[in-house]
Amino acid sequence: MRTLAIDHGQKRTGLAMSDAGGKFASPLDMFPTDGSLLGRIASIVTEESVERIVIGLPLHMEGGLGSTAKSVIAFANQLEAVTKFKPIFVDERLSSFDAEQKLIDRKRAGGKMTRAMKKERLDALAAATFLQAYLDGKLTSLDPTRM
């Protein structure tokens, strides 16, 4: 089952995609969070035969919803109207931290990465991080209406 993961941010939105078998996640792309974002994602959903969408929900460390999480929920509602897929929410706490650590490890291993390249890859890598955890059964879906 082909799954698209979305790490929605105020400035940038990172995307990751699973393989057709639904076992492995890979960073896909990063887009500015602007008026064209919904259309871009809808195109990817169609072109890549996506069967489900997973969206990272940025919860507070104690587990509550803040203004950023509420913004992600509003975006998910708009996305559902455009794609007809009910999004699956997962806890994305620390996924950006994990992604940044992976980029640091890559750089230590001899990879050359400018600050701009790091910024561009971080959001897509964060999406791949929580998507892989979801595919592995380490993250379960959340119901934000019960939080």
- pLDDT score of 100: 55
- pLDDT score of 61: 75
- Give me the helices (H) in the chain, please: 37-47, 67-83, 95-108, 115-135
- pLDDT score of 60: 76
- pLDDT score of 102: 54
Q: In whole angstroms, what is the distance from residue 7 CA to residue 72 CA?
A: 9
The number of beta carbons lying within 10 Å of the beta carbon of residue 46 is 10
- pLDDT score of 147: 78
State residue 22 phi and psi, 5-degree precision: 70, 30
- pLDDT score of 27: 93
- pLDDT score of 146: 83
Total-model pTM = 0.85
- pLDDT score of 101: 54
Q: In whole angstroms, what is the distance from residue 41 CA to residue 82 CA?
A: 9
Best CA proximity match to 31, nearest among 48, 49, 43, 46 = 43
- pLDDT score of 103: 47
- pLDDT score of 141: 92
pLDDT, averaged per 10 consecutive residues of the chain (147 residues), comes to: 95 96 95 97 97 92 85 97 95 63 53 59 85 92 87
